[in-house]
Structure 1
Amino acid sequence: MKPLFSWLSPAGASGRLSVLIFHRVLREPDPLFPEEVDATRFDELLGWVKSWFNVLPMDEAARRLQDGSLPARAAALTFDDGYTDNHDVALPLLQRHGLPCSFFVATGFLNGGRMWNDTLIEAVRRSTLPMLDLRGLRDAQGADLGQHGLSNRRALLQALIPRVKYLVPEQRQVCVDAIAARAESVLPDDLMMSSGQVRALRAAGMQIGAHTVSHPILATLSPQQAADEMARSRDMLQSLLGERVGLFAYPNGRPGTDYLPDVHPGLVRELGFDAAVSTRWAAARQGEDVFQIPRFTPWDRSRSKFALRLAKNLLS
């Protein structure tokens, strides 16, 4: 595949940058979310990427994208949110393959916090109730959890998550807390990294970027609220690491839906960041807005299909 990627992504001003995005790397496959990346799959994927691409740190990739000096087959690896398994599972595999990676951390969940979606997921996963009464919550009714079947729980989460996602942060938290209370579930407090684990990632040579404090949908906030989320996340990380943080990732990251391209990239620039990444599927070219660098990761499990989808993304 190397010749194909070299042709699609040459060196210099015609170069294209492929940025891969991940969130979690589980030790073992999750029966509730079988599509989630686990350690075996991530290890295999890193081997493919290392053999095909020149993987750069994200800050260097952004600079070289701007000045037209990308190497052939340029790529960068990124993680969003700040899960504990980024440190415990992903980091050793990245070190084994000798690959750099950038981790974008939502700082409000460090040290025992839990993201809203994980409160929802774990409440449904861990509930021992046969039925979950959701009347009065986001137009939902009762849900049959079943005693052993995962399909009902998976279907319920697929219905609930989109309904809750675009609430403003305060309403969103109230809603998921209410669902968790009705589920009568004991929820975990070790899903997200500690401050020490973030420092350990940096000490291992990985990069740390800001990802807001509470992971809000920026499009639902005022510009002042959005700028505050960005700045407080950056400032907390700079205090934690004792160094400047120049990278930012938009929560959820879809332009026009999760952030506003005519508002939020300008805020990121005004706050002094060097570059920002979205989740628009594409490969970046010179001349594109460095504060809206696209990202994409194929979901295919076979080597050939994974490579072909990456090639297709380079053509987008």
Structure 2
Amino acid sequence: MSDLFTSLETAFVNKLISLFSPSGKYARLSIVLYHSISPEPDELLSEQEDVAIFDTHIRFLSSHFNILPLHEAIQRLQDGTLPSRAVCITFDDGYANNAEVALPVLQKYNATATFFIAAAYINGGMMWNDKVIELIRHAPGKLLDLNEIGFGKHDIGSLEQRQKTLFALINKFKYLPHEEKYAQLEKLCHLIPVTLSENMMMTADQIRKLHHAGMEIGGHTISHPILARTDNEVAYTEIKNGKKLLEDIIQAPVRLFAYPNGKPRQDYLPEHVAMLKEIGFEGAVSTAWGAANNHADIYQLPRFTPWDKNRIRFLMRMVQNMFRTTNTC
């Protein structure tokens, strides 16, 4: 009886969501975004998804939405053949735990996803923000003196203070010019002499593992620069060479792209959209919230991350996102 009630409830909820996300020419495509999926909750990064939260999300999505490969969804959006409640799952950056922790969950629910990978960090690299995170996580003592690099003194005696320091430093580093950012990061590493992990990001074998499991691999530049603050020639090389490096690994075309950081007009500009078309990408995703309709620019598709653990709230947030105005360049 309980199983029958659950089936009827699921059917009712799905029918309700279909009213907001119908099939055909009035369809809306929701694309969800994840980054690192840790095996356990991270006390320092309290908002980061762990495997239990991710499993909950994929269970909700597989029960109430039609999960499609992103490349297929883009084509069907254009053709007017998208099913109701269409959703795609994406990951940015290329964390090793995507292959080792997230992939088994996706396979458990027979779900597919697209992984956008910054090629410079394959086989032992670490992104700048992760270096800052791990340095602050392991910094000894209760006071962090960064006056030497112009970042002041910070209390880190409590978890809350350490989190506050971390977010302040991330914001300082985020939009520094590329060379200055890495020069300052090098100095920060000398000021906080801790050993950093060498296996945070994917190896080439893990990328091939995802590809062979039926997942799609997408481009995300080489070193994840803010394209809007990068010389056009350098930006073009970052996009094109990142694509080629991934294609050499999987021996297959890399057709889709995710803009680093991804905010239209802030992190990327119209000239970068034009670059993708010239280089041969067939679609791209931003981090502007919203859902795509048949008028959407397939080179600036919106994405967002639902964070609720409660099923009803999760589904309400998914529906609410369908009506957000999509920002583009």
TM-score, normalised with respect to structure 1: 0.96
Partner of 1:277: 285
Aligned to 1:266, which of 274, 282, 286? Answer: 274
Partner of 1:63: 75
Distance in 1 (CA, whole Å) between partners of 2:117 and 2:265 is: 22
Higher mean C-alpha deviation, range 251-260 or range 162-171: 162-171
Instruction: Please say if 1:20 is aligned against 2:29.
Output: no
**1:301 shift after superposition:** 2.1
Partner of 1:156: 165
Cα deviation, 1:255-303, whole Å, max 9, x if unaligned, reads 011111x221111111110000000000001021100000012222211
Letter of the structure 2 residue corresponding to residue 252 of structure 1: N
Cα deviation, 1:132-190, whole Å, max 9, x if unaligned, reads 221143x42111222xx211110001111111111222221111221122112211111
Aligned to 2:199, which of 187, 190, 194? Answer: 190
Partner of 1:129: 141
Distance in 2 (CA, whole Å) between partners of 1:241 and 1:184 is: 36
Aligned to 1:297, which of 305, 311, 314? Answer: 305
Higher mean C-alpha deviation, range 172-181 or range 235-244: 172-181
What is the 5 A alignment of 1:83-102? 83-102=95-114
Instruction: Please say if 1:72 is aligned against 2:72.
Output: no
Aligned to 1:43, which of 42, 46, 55? Answer: 55
Instruction: Please say if 1:117 is aligned against 2:129.
Output: yes
Distance in 1 (CA, whole Å) between partners of 2:160 and 2:192 is: 17
Runs of 4+ in structure 1 over 4 Å off: none
Is this contact kept in 2: 1:119–1:177, CA < 8 A? no
Q: Per the alignment, in what secondary structure is the counterpart of residue 21 of structure 1?
A: strand
What is the 5 A alignment of 1:243-258? 243-258=252-267
Higher mean C-alpha deviation, range 104-113 or range 67-76: 67-76
Letter of the structure 2 residue corresponding to residue 274 of structure 1: E
Cα deviation, 1:100-147, whole Å, max 9, x if unaligned, reads 00000000001000000011010010112332221143x42111222x
Letter of the structure 1 residue corresponding to residue 181 of structure 2: R
Q: Per the alignment, in what secondary structure is the counterpart of residue 104 of structure 1?
A: strand
Distance in 1 (CA, whole Å) between partners of 2:256 and 2:129 is: 24
Is this contact kept in 1: 2:56–2:309, CA < 8 A? no
Instruction: Please say if 1:180 is aligned against 2:189.
Output: yes
Is this contact kept in 2: 1:210–1:237, CA < 8 A? yes
What 5-or-longer segments of structure 1 have no aligned partner? none
Cα deviation, 1:69-118, whole Å, max 9, x if unaligned, reads 11111110000000010011000000011000000000000100000001
Distance in 2 (CA, whole Å) between partners of 1:302 and 1:35 is: 15
Aligned to 2:213, which of 194, 201, 204? Answer: 204
Instruction: Please say if 1:142 is aligned against 2:150.
Output: no
Distance in 2 (CA, whole Å) between partners of 1:130 and 1:72 is: 53
Instruction: Please say if 1:52 is aligned against 2:76.
Output: no
Q: Per the alignment, in what secondary structure is the counterpart of residue 196 of structure 1?
A: helix
Cα deviation, 1:32-53, whole Å, max 9, x if unaligned, reads 0111111111111111000111
TM-score, normalised with respect to structure 2: 0.93
Distance in 2 (CA, whole Å) between partners of 1:172 and 1:287 is: 38
Is this contact kept in 1: 2:264–2:288, CA < 8 A? yes
Aligned to 1:287, which of 291, 295, 315? Answer: 295
**1:4 shift after superposition:** 2.4
Query: What is the aligned length?
Result: 312
Partner of 1:315: 323
Aligned identity (percent) is 42
**1:193 shift after superposition:** 0.6
Is this contact kept in 2: 1:132–1:182, CA < 8 A? no
Distance in 2 (CA, whole Å) between partners of 1:281 and 1:177 is: 34
Cα deviation, 1:5-56, whole Å, max 9, x if unaligned, reads 2011111111010000000111000000111111111111111000111110
Distance in 2 (CA, whole Å) between partners of 1:57 and 1:167 is: 35
